[in-house]
Every structure is written in C-alpha cells, then in structure tokens.
Amino acid sequence: MPPKKFEFEQNYRRTPEEVRAEDLASRDDFGDTPEEIERNVQAVMEKYDRESNVRIYKGISRRIVRALFILFSLYSIFLLFYPGEIRLERASFVGMLVFLVFINFPATKGGPKHVNYIPWYDLLLAVLGAVAYFYFACHCRAIIERALRLTDLEVVLGAIGILVTLEACRRSVGLPIVIVASCFIIYSLTQKSIRMNVYNLFYTADGIIGTPIRACLNFIVLFVIFGAFLEKTGITQFFIDLANSVAGASAGGPAKVAVISSALCGMVSGSSVGNTVTTGSVTIPMMKKTGYRPDFAGAVEAAASTGGQIMPPIMGAAAFLMVEYVTMPDTTVTYGYIALRAVLPAVLYFSGIFIMVHLEAKKMGLHGLSRDMLPRFWPLFLKQGFLLLPLVALVYFLMTRTMAFAAIAATVLAIVVSMVRKDTRIFTLRYHEDTGYRFDFSKFFDALESGARSTLTVGIACATAGIVACVITTTGIGSALISIIVGISGGSKIIALFLTMLTCIVLGMGVPTTANYVIMATTCAPVLIRMGIPGIAAHMFVFYFGIVADITPPVALAAYAGSAIAGGNPMKTGFIATKLAIAAFIVPYVLALDPALVFVDTGALEVIQIVVSSLIGMFGLSMALEGYFKGLLSWPLRLLCAAGGLCLIIPGLITDVIGVGAVVVVLLLQTLRAKNKAAPDAA
C-alpha cells in the first residue's frame, strides 16, 4: 500500500519551498505511484534480503512451483498430527527444504533472471540433496541399528547431503553462517575420521536434523504460516495507522510512528530487513518530508525494525528455540516463561529509541503531522481493533495450551477475522457463468505458499546451525572456548560479558534470527552460565547481541536497507542506527548483572526499582548522545549525563543515587538556562 499523502503545517524549520522540494526529492528516490513503490521495495529486498532474491516463474511453471510450496506447507502440518520416527520425519522435511531452495534461489545474487529457467546443475544439486535425505528417511531404522558401520554409499550420500545443505544455505541465507559452519567442520575433521563426521553430522539426531530442526518442524513452521495468514488480514496497515493516531501529531511524529509500528510489525514478521523495507516504505518518506535527515530516517527504521526480533510474543521465532536450550534450576521452562521475561528488556529497548528520536526532533525544531490528517485512535480501534484478536488468542493459548494448538487456533481465527472485510477475505464466494457460485480459495493457498517460502530460509539456517551445535558437543571445542574466555577474563563477569558481546556480534553478522540464536546458545551462553549468570539471563544476553549485528557496521543489512529507501549513506546510517539502539548494548548487561530485570530471584519492589532507574538512565544517555535538552548541552554536561546514565543502569543503590543526582543536576541547569534565555525574549 502506498504512503498516504499528508498536508504539513507551515511553521516547520524549513520553508514551504524547501518542504516541497524535499517532497519531490523523496518521490524521485522511491517512487510516487503504487507500481513504482512496489517495484522499488522489491529491488531493495532483493539487494539486502536473500529471501527475496528468487527465480521468476510464469504460466504452467508458476503453477507447478506454487503447488510444490503449498504441498510442503501441508506436509509440515501433516507431520505435526501424524508424527513418525523422528529421523524419518526430520530427514524428509530437510530433504524437501533443500529441493525447494534450489528450485527457488539462483546461484548468484544480482545476475540476470530468466523466466522459467533453472540451470542443469541446480536441478542436479536439488535432486542429489533430496535423494540423500530421502535415502536416509527410508533406511533410517537400518542405519540406526548399524550405527557407525555405514556402507560406502551411505558415507558418500551423507557427505553430499552436508555439502548440498551448505550450498543451499549460502544461496538462501548468505555466506557468513556457511563460513562459520565450514570452520567447525574443518576443525572436526582434524579430530575424527570422515566416516564418523558424516555419521554425527548427517545421520544422528544431534546434527543437521538436531534440536534446531526439531523446533523448526514442531513450532516455527506453524508460526511462520500463522504470520502469512495474519498478514492477509491487513494488520500491517492497521499497526501503521494506529501508531499515527498515537504519536503522529507529536514532535517528530513520523519517527515515533516508525518506532511504534516497527515494534508491532516486527514481532510478527521475523525479519529485520523485511520489516525495515515493509514499514520503511511508508515511514521513511514521511520522516524525510517532516525534516529528518535521510541518514537519520533510515537509521530510525532499521533500529526499530531490528528490535522487532526481541519483541514478544513471537520474537522472530527465537522464543521457541529458547524453550529447547534454556535450563533453570527447579523450573520448567515454557514459552510463557520466556515471553514474560522478554517484556521488560524489550520495553527498555524501544523506550531508548523513542527518547532519542524525540530529542532529535526537539533539537531540529521539527513538528508533527496535522491532526486533521491523522486517524483518531478510538474510532480506528473500534472499527479495526478486531484485527488484534488472532494475536490476543495466540498469547492466551500459548500460556494455557501447547504451542502447536496456539498456532493452529490463532491461524483459524486469522482466517475468520479476514472475512469481516471484503478486500482481505481469504475465502471469497464468486459467481462463474459455467459453474454458478463457488468459493475462491486463492488467498488461502497464497498464504500457504507464502508461509512455505518464508520457511525455506529459517529451515535451512536451522539445519546449518545444527552442524555447529553438533561439532561443539562431539569435539569438546565448546569447553575449550569456555576455558579460554574464563581464563582471559580472570573470573571477572564484566570482562567475560564484554568478550562474549564481541563474539556474538561477529558471529551474528548476516545470520538470520533463528540460526543466530542457535550459534550463540551453543557457543557463548555456556560461558556466561559458567560465570554464575542464570540461564535465562545468559541466553537473553547472547540473543540481544546476536540480533544487533543487523545494525552494527560493517555488515548492517537492516541499516543498509533503510539507507537505500531513504537515499542516505549506508555506513553513516549504520552508525546512527547503532547509536539509536544504544539500549540494546546496555540492557543485556543490566539483566546479566542483575537478573531482576528478567524476574529471577526478585520481588515486585526490586523490579520496579530497576525499571525506573533504567528508564532514567536511558534518558540520561540519550541526552548525552543527542547533546540536547531544552537547548544544546555543553560537553561537560554531556559527560555528566553519560556518567549518570551509566550509573543508573549499573545495578545497586549507591550507583542509582549517584546517577539520579547527575541527571537531575543537568535537567535543572538546562531548565534554568532555557528560562533565562526566554525571559529577555519575552521582555
């Protein structure tokens, strides 16, 4: 849907002529008609999002490929209700994934695309990969009984399956995770024979078809399909309109709209780049027209969209993997346990971005959008609030029933909700001259196809992450890594946390949320647990720092996508996004050093104290970074703000008192200065 045209007040920092010039410039950059905008959105997605760089099919070929994706979705649902031997169902699932990846993704990213064309070598790789996995699925019982006594054919097929999976991952996900997995395989080859490596990686439930694929098959696929059906209800535009009604008229309104809408959309989309482009195509032109610099506008959208991955209830599907990996003494870790403990860190993250964009707007003298052109909250909510019912039902059932039941029930409700509005109906009754009235199921099948396409990258990433997890558990390299970091840190938690942060950011560059978390959970989280940090806090720490790789240069894909829409400098956009997302670099330290933020060993008063102190600390740091509060801040005051903000974020009563004192001093000095400056003007 194209951006809405808003009229702007004339008392902006820029003159009307400058505003009109900026308006025309933004149209030239990203298009003004729906067709131009859609074409440019697709171009940006193809450049920065592997999932969008796909082959083009038309006619009978399009129908065949579409049928394959629909059957894949239906097969995944079938396996949930009629599970068999775990190796059989997981191997067949990955075999279908690999086959569809080579059908869907070309070998190179930016080459010319020929309609209905697949090179012979891609067909060969697709068939070889499928044969390897389906051979395993058909002979899994015999292979299990013989264990390491593999035949030569089975060794060759296993090796082919591993290599084809890595190539499929390179095409659909990217090179960074393939390099990481390859390094682990090479290390494993120095420790064990090829036969044993093939058996461990390909033929056991601890390798490619290990825990990540189990979570993908049992939970993630269902929630990806749910997201596809939910999108058909028009909820994305509802989120943007809702954010406009709440914050559009305030200072720098479009930037605040970007923060709110991206938080809401991002928790469903599961992709930092996809969320940046989808909501950014609407919010970034609005921000530029209001007066924000292109680099800043792109950075706001990238930082907020990346934060969608940490926003409950879905958290980019990582919450379902956390259920598999997180262990807590005397506690059964469920989805509800994970989601509840993710709420406060997410609130602090988005509060930090919101404060930064507000101060930037005040510093630049930017106003919001005209209230006359914005939707009213209550009329909008009363008219379209029913779109939230699937999400509400999802959360309720996740807390009270199984995850599979919750996903299916929420999907059914999304279908029901779509029937209320004529333009979003998934089932439509149409009249045909030859057959009379009959139901049109095209949108239903569209959602199944969309869910299957989104599953490809998630599934292959999980399979590749399984390789890393397997090598860590079978070679002992994980214990060696723990010993190295513990030794370098000298037993200091702060140093260990800092080293872990660097490792997470490097390993997380260009890696999707799910695979990113699996790598972090198997390589980095055990280090922190060894240092005495509770399991949930350790896993949240590594999850956060794996996610921020999407906005941290040099591989800041979400920031680069935002800069492409805004017409800004990619690297500069990445650095601004990193500054805006400063909370993502601080909140993990807070919850690691004081797990009260994730409700571990704490009471209500302690939680309230840490939330209030952290919010004040975020405000202090934001003032320091923006250099503004009721006027420009001098460098001494900025340093005092930064010191006070950090003190408030570090747990402890003494640090809280010092931090509050520092921030209050700056607030008072700036307020008095603003009053003194205003007095002569009034006179």
Q: How many CA atoms lie within 13 A of 642 on its CB side?
A: 12
| Per-residue confidence band for 11, with pLDDT thresholds at 50, 70 and 90 | very low
Task: Decide which of 509 and 609 is more confident.
Answer: 609
Instruction: Show the tokens assigned to 63.
Output: 């129908």
| Per-residue confidence band for 43, with pLDDT thresholds at 50, 70 and 90 | low
pLDDT of res. 4 = 38
Q: What is the DSSP string of 38-61?
A: HHHHHHHHHHH-GGG------HHH
* Letter string b/e over residues 633-659, b meaning 16 or more CB atoms within 10 A of that residue's CB: beeebbebbbbbbbbbbbbeeebbebb
Q: What is the DSSP string of 374-420?
A: S--HHHHHHHHGGGGHHHHHHHHHHHHS-HHHHHHHHHHHHHHHHTT
Q: In the predicted model, what is the mean pLDDT of the chain?
A: 83
**3 state SS of 534:** coil
- The answer on pLDDT for 24 being more than 60 is no
Backbone angles phi, psi at 595, to 5 degrees: -65, 5
pLDDT of res. 539 = 92
The answer to the question of residue 186 being in a domain is no
- The answer on pLDDT for 109 being more than 50 is yes
Task: Name which of 25-39, 209-223, 270-284 the model is least confident about.
Answer: 25-39
- Calculate the alpha carbon distances from 291 to 249, 254, 296, 300, 396 in Å: 14, 10, 10, 14, 42
Q: Which residues contact 13 (CB under 8 A, 6 or more apart)?
A: 291, 364, 365, 366
Smallest Cα–Cα separation from 659: which of 625, 606, 610? 610
The answer to whether the beta carbons of residues 500 and 531 sit under 8 Å apart is no
- Calculate the alpha carbon distances from 395 to 230, 232, 390, 410, 618 in Å: 14, 19, 9, 9, 29
- The answer on pLDDT for 6 being more than 50 is no
The whole-number average pLDDT for the span 575-596 is 86
The answer to the question of residue 155 being in a domain is no
pLDDT of res. 10 = 33
| Per-residue confidence band for 111, with pLDDT thresholds at 50, 70 and 90 | low
pLDDT of res. 269 = 64
Smallest Cα–Cα separation from 223: which of 321, 123, 368, 100? 321
Q: Rounded CA gap, 427 and 442, in Å? A: 8
The answer to the question of residue 614 being in a domain is yes
Domain span at residue 635?
603-683
Task: Decide which of 162 and 312 is more confident.
Answer: 162
| Per-residue confidence band for 668, with pLDDT thresholds at 50, 70 and 90 | very high
Q: What pLDDT digit, counting tens, does each position of 179-200 carry?
A: 989 999 999 999 989 999 999 9
The answer to the question of residue 351 being in a domain is no
Task: Name which of 17-26, 280-289, 474-483, 506-515 the model is least confident about.
Answer: 17-26
The whole-number average pLDDT for the span 658-672 is 92
Task: Decide which of 201 and 35 is more confident.
Answer: 201
Q: What pLDDT digit, counting tens, does each position of 46-101 carry?
A: 666 656 678 889 999 999 999 999 999 999 989 887 777 889 999 999 999 999 99
Instruction: Show the tokens assigned to 208.
Output: 């490619």
User: Domains in the chain: how many in total?
Assistant: 1
Q: Rounded CA gap, 181 and 178, in Å? A: 5
pLDDT of res. 267 = 67
- Strand-pair partners of 432: 436
Q: Rounded CA gap, 316 and 308, in Å? A: 8
pLDDT of res. 186 = 95
- Calculate the alpha carbon distances from 119 to 55, 60, 122, 170 in Å: 11, 18, 5, 17
The answer to the question of residue 683 being in a domain is yes
Q: Rounded CA gap, 236 and 469, in Å? A: 36
pLDDT of res. 429 = 67
| Per-residue confidence band for 36, with pLDDT thresholds at 50, 70 and 90 | low
The answer to whether the beta carbons of residues 358 and 252 sit under 8 Å apart is yes
The answer to the question of residue 634 being in a domain is yes
Rg from Cα positions in the chain: 26
Smallest Cα–Cα separation from 398: which of 318, 477, 336? 336
Q: What pLDDT digit, counting tens, does each position of 261-316 carry?
A: 888 776 666 677 877 887 888 888 888 888 888 898 899 988 988 888 888 776 76
| Per-residue confidence band for 112, with pLDDT thresholds at 50, 70 and 90 | low
- The answer on pLDDT for 14 being more than 60 is no
Q: What pLDDT digit, counting tens, does each position of 236-250 carry?
A: 888 888 888 888 888
Task: Decide which of 21 and 529 is more confident.
Answer: 529
**3 state SS of 598:** helix
Task: Decide which of 10 and 563 is more confident.
Answer: 563
Instruction: Show the tokens assigned to 474.
Output: 């079978």
pLDDT of res. 52 = 64
Q: What pLDDT digit, counting tens, does each position of 117-147 carry?
A: 889 999 999 999 999 999 999 998 888 888 7
The answer to the question of residue 630 being in a domain is yes
Share of the chain above pLDDT 90, in %: 24
User: Can you tell me which residue has the tokens 């059964």?
Assistant: 332
| Per-residue confidence band for 520, with pLDDT thresholds at 50, 70 and 90 | confident
Q: Rounded CA gap, 351 and 319, in Å? A: 22
- Strand-pair partners of 429: 439
Q: What is the DSSP string of 473-493?
A: HHH-HHHHHHHHHHHHHTT-H
The answer to the question of residue 83 being in a domain is no
Task: Please give the single-letter amino acid code of residue 351.
Answer: S
